């Protein structure tokens, strides 16, 4: 079992402990809710069970086996195939922002790129960043690190969010040493 798989298994165990419900009960709760959209199911789990955003998302992926990363592997797609899809149409002009940031992150060392529906999750033992187009004109970089110095570009996220901070990027030139250092700090703590 890889370190990422162990981290997911630990998270699922912790969700069961938090809720006092088995995976069978949690899966039944999701399936019997009548909800079909990921966001609606996530909100229901957060409201009914008091789960945070990340735990609710993991539970949905585990219970319904809808992890896009697994689907990508099953279809034989590469990360580049997924990125071509994410950065297509009016979002194609944002790809240079993504590429510049990823070129810097690639220098850090080993990590996993887990493609999702509209972004990629960057993981070691746990997620340290996420990156994808938020609109047709902006890429959002999510950073998981609690101790970053205040900066106007860092948008602090509410407790329970998938990342502690978000940074909005509209131009590759905005990917500077400071932003790279923030991601490096998160990378080092993730694993």
pLDDT, tens digit (0-9, with 9 covering 90-100), for 133-169: 999 999 999 999 988 888 999 999 888 788 899 999 9
Q: Quick one: what percent of the chain has pLDDT higher than 90?
A: 40
What pLDDT, on the 0 to 100 scale, is given for residue 142?
Answer: 95
What is the average pLDDT across 46-60? 86
| Mean pLDDT over each residue of the chain, to the nearest integer | 85
Q: How far apart are CA 77 and CA 52, in angstroms?
A: 30
Which residue(s) pair with 173 in the sheet? none
Q: Which residues contact 184 (CB under 8 A, 6 or more apart)?
A: 108
- Higher-pLDDT residue of 90, 75: 90
What pLDDT, on the 0 to 100 scale, is given for residue 74?
Answer: 46
Contacts for 117-122: CB closer than 8 Å, 24+ residues apart: 117/68, 118/86, 119/86, 120/79, 120/82, 120/83, 120/86, 121/69, 122/187
What pLDDT, on the 0 to 100 scale, is given for residue 179?
Answer: 96
pLDDT digits (tens, 9 = 90+) for 2-27: 566 677 778 888 888 888 988 878 88
What pLDDT, on the 0 to 100 scale, is given for residue 69?
Answer: 45
What pLDDT, on the 0 to 100 scale, is given for residue 3?
Answer: 61
Residue 93: CB atoms within 10 A of its CB come to 12
Q: How far apart are CA 122 and CA 148, in angstroms?
A: 18
- Beta strand 120-123 with 127-133 is antiparallel
What pLDDT, on the 0 to 100 scale, is given for residue 71?
Answer: 43
What pLDDT, on the 0 to 100 scale, is given for residue 77?
Answer: 57
What pLDDT, on the 0 to 100 scale, is given for residue 70?
Answer: 45
What pLDDT, on the 0 to 100 scale, is given for residue 60?
Answer: 82
Q: How far apart are CA 190 and CA 48, in angstroms?
A: 29
- Higher-pLDDT residue of 176, 121: 176
Q: How far apart are CA 152 and CA 81, in angstroms?
A: 34
pLDDT digits (tens, 9 = 90+) for 54-80: 888 888 877 766 444 444 444 555 677
What is the average pLDDT across 85-104? 93
Task: Catalogue all structural domains in the chain, each as residue range(s) with its CATH number.
Answer: 3-66 (no CATH), 75-189 (3.90.1150)
Q: Which residues contact 168 (CB under 8 A, 6 or more apart)?
A: 134, 138, 139, 140, 153, 155
């Amino acid at each position: 079992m890889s370190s990422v798989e162990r981290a997911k298994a630990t998270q699922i165990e912790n969700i069961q402990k938090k809720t006092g419900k088995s995976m069978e009960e949690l899966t039944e709760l999701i399936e019997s809710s009548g909800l079909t959209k990921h966001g609606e199911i996530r909100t229901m789990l957060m409201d009914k069970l008091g789960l945070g955003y990340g735990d609710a998302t993991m539970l949905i992926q585990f219970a319904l086996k809808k992890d896009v990363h697994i689907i990508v592997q099953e279809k034989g797609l590469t990360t580049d195939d997924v990125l071509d899809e994410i950065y297509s149409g009016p979002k194609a002009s944002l790809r240079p922002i993504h590429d510049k940031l990823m070129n810097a992150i690639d220098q850090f060392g080993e990590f996993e790129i887990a493609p999702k529906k509209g972004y990629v999750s960057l993981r070691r033992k746990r997620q340290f960043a996420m990156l994808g187009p938020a609109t047709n004109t902006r890429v959002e970089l999510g950073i998981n690190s609690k101790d970053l110095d205040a900066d106007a570009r860092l948008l602090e996220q509410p407790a329970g969010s998938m990342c502690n901070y978000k940074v909005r990027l509209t131009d590759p030139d905005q990917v500077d040493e400071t932003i790279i250092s923030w991601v490096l700090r998160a990378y080092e703590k993730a694993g």
